[in-house]
Amino acid sequence: MKKMIIKGGNRLAGEVTIGGAKNSTVALIPAAILADTPVQFDTVPDILDVHNLMIILESMNVKSTFTHGVLDIDPTQIVEAELPSQAIKSLRASYYFMGALLGRFHRAVVTFPGGDNIGPRPIDQHIKAFRALGATVTEENGTVHMNAPEGLHGARIFMDMVSVGGTINAILAAVRAEGVTTIENAAREPEIVDLATFLNNMGAKIRGAGTDVIRITGVQTLQSMNTHTIIPDRIETGTYLSLAAAMGDGVMINNVIPEHMEAFTSKMMDMGVDLQIGVDRIYVPAIGQLQPTIVKTMPYPGFATDLQQPLTPLMALANGQSKVVDTIYPKRVKHIPELQKLGMQIEAGDGEILINHSANFTGAEVQASEIRAGASLMITGLMADGTTIIHNADHILRGYDRIVWKLNRLNANVAIEEDD
């Protein structure tokens, strides 16, 4: 594991360019194995999850190369193989290979994936979708076995709860199934629209992505003709917006889709941050007084659960008490004792996180339990006097494109080292 060493207190200024969306990328890479031709992605974030997915591709004889944000994948010589359990267990989104392999081979065996530990995230909606499409699914000792010897057939799938992962896996399995599939109560996230755009450009027939009803007419072949440019990462955008407001003397954030950020930016403006929003960029000026706020996480287009932790350090600067209610992952609280070590007045109870005004932060040794918890510690460490050491920093590297380089270009003092 690695550690992040932050010497805090530096005011930040300059420009930062947002990378491609992690949550799109981790679905697009498994989707590439559905193609009958080589595939190319552009603006791919340089994060650990991408490299882990490339290891999984290699196990199936799928060649891939990644250079300067361009990822080439050649699935034309793909073979069925046991997927490497270590890469699977380090990466929750590896479960998208379930839908992709089922769509390609009509069978798959996948170890139950790992990834962030932020409370229960069951895959029952995924399994329900696979069964509706005609697959038999059994789970034994953390391994999921799927088989559809007669092939997959279009079906009506109703999601009992809005599930981004379940919606994506259903699309991956249904896109080459025979007949028409309708996914009702589907998730509406921009990353799902990005996936559908990629597949449609290869000849898929997916309609309604971005709404709660998606209709898929199965096709027999998918052929890539063009490079697919991945949408900007809205969670990375929100993290830099919060960081720039907390410690910035004027920061321009480039490669942004403002429409994807409205729940977040409106909350920041309610707090008193005078954001200047352009067509594809947002300028964050130095801030004055901040007002407390209440954040309630909801499925898109509501406030994203992945952004409650990155906003927390900014909420701590407000004059008064702010509150977070996470309706998606109410157990997402492991960052709280670590933030307390840095001097934040924050506590959790009765399904709420309460953040009181905190004037002085002091560097300390803390542990990142997952990606966005790590982001909140990183921002607070940059705000703190002295040195902060974040252990298990691999979590941060899993989700943030070239994070050390980007921060140091803004005048931060950050380094990554191997942990003892």
- Catalytic positions are 116
CB 9 within 8 A of CB 247: no
Residue 306 is assigned to a ligand binding site? yes
Residue 113 is assigned to a ligand binding site? no
Residue 123 is assigned to a ligand binding site? yes
Residue 125 is assigned to a ligand binding site? yes
CB 389 within 8 A of CB 3: yes
Place of tokens 């379930």: 98
Q: How far is CA 391 from the centre of its chain?
A: 21
Residue 233 is assigned to a ligand binding site? no
Q: How far is CA 143 from the centre of its chain?
A: 24
Residue 122 is assigned to a ligand binding site? yes
CB 282 within 8 A of CB 258: yes
Tokens of 87: 């890469």
Residue 23 is assigned to a ligand binding site? yes
Place of tokens 């996914």: 183
Residue 257 is assigned to a ligand binding site? no
Alpha-carbon torsion (61, 23, 316, 118), positive or negative? negative
* Rounded Cα distance, 219 and 206, in Å: 10
Residue 292 is assigned to a ligand binding site? no
Residue 226 is assigned to a ligand binding site? no
Binding site residue list for UDP-N-acetyl-alpha-D-glucosamine: 92, 121-125, 306, 328
Binding site residue list: 22-23, 92, 121-125, 306, 328
Binding site residue list for phosphoenolpyruvate: 22-23
